[in-house]
Amino acid sequence: MEQKNKNVRLIGLDLDGTTLTSEKVLTPHTKEVLEKCLAEGIQVLPATGRVKTGIPEYLTQIEGMRYVILSNGASVLDLKEDKVLYQNCIPWKRALELFDVLETYHTFYDVYALGTGWCEARFYDNVGNYGIEKHIENLVRTTRNRIDDLRVWMKENKAPVEKINMFFAREEDRQRAFKDLREIKDLAVTCSLGNNLEINGATCNKGDAMLHLGKILDIPVESIMACGDGNNDFEMVKMAGVGVAMENGEESLKEVADFVTKTNDEEGVAYAIEYFCDLK
């Protein structure tokens, strides 16, 4: 592949393990590269498993940062217009059925719906019992609304579910759930952390959302670049015209990528963008 590609017009960036360092920091140099892209008319956007409230403001407030892909592709949001451009959710009645399945595992679970997270008090008050790292525990507490009963809330609000998130204290429980849930035809099951599983609708992924945004913006797939490190970045990296995997990423992701960049702690995103894009 040619090193410089003046045709890159849209860049989707995973956050954790990709754009952000292990300390969840956006380095000054990476920020500068993103600002250069936006200034030159290249759309740069977070493409994350997080909800909107989980995206750091220092990212969304970069001048020109307009779009975000949320909940592994369940929602594409125009920040400037505060408008949902595309959604691919689990119907609320189907989510209720899935809760019964999840109760058969020793797991923490919550949902993303209406643009934010909803977590039952029995989980919210005991986050530390599920092997969740401290910085993730803080993220959970700040991006979830604490409620008494998720089923009651779902029946009252009838809200489509963007994503169901699960945490496991024991790896054997996670592997059993992963094996079982992957056999359910209308679900896509991925992970972004060492002890979690993430459930979306079968056709929902970051790649699907990225291509839909490309169509909306009239940007062809060959002009789309995507960077990721995890299982939930697979389709996005594979589908993009320029698919980039992090050196610290999953081996399966590296196999489908066009390019393997440096690690997230070595500003691998900035390196890849400078490698492929002819920035002034």
Instruction: Give mean pLDDT, residues 21-43.
Output: 95
The pLDDT-based confidence of 1 (bands split at 50, 70, 90) is very low
- Looking at the predicted structure, is the pLDDT value of residue 213 above 70? yes
- Looking at the predicted structure, is the pLDDT value of residue 26 above 50? yes
> What's the confidence (pLDDT) of residue 264?
98
Q: In order of start, what are the domains of the chain with their CATH numbers? A: 10-88+205-277 (3.40.50.1000), 92-201 (3.30.1240.10)
Of 97-106, 189-198, 207-216, 260-269, least confident by mean pLDDT is 189-198
Distance between start and end Cα atoms, the chain: 21
C-alpha distances out from residue 51 to 76, 114, 201, 234, Å: 11, 9, 16, 19
Pairing of the two strands 224-228 and 10-13: parallel
The pLDDT-based confidence of 255 (bands split at 50, 70, 90) is very high
pTM of the model: 0.89
The tally of CA atoms less than 13 A away on the side-chain side of residue 186 is: 8
pLDDT digits (tens, 9 = 90+) for 65-90: 999 999 999 999 999 999 999 999 99
Decide if 188 contacts 199 (C-beta within 8 A).
yes
Among 187, 151, 191, residue whose Cα is nearest residue 175:
191
pLDDT digits (tens, 9 = 90+) for 39-65: 999 999 999 999 988 899 999 999 999
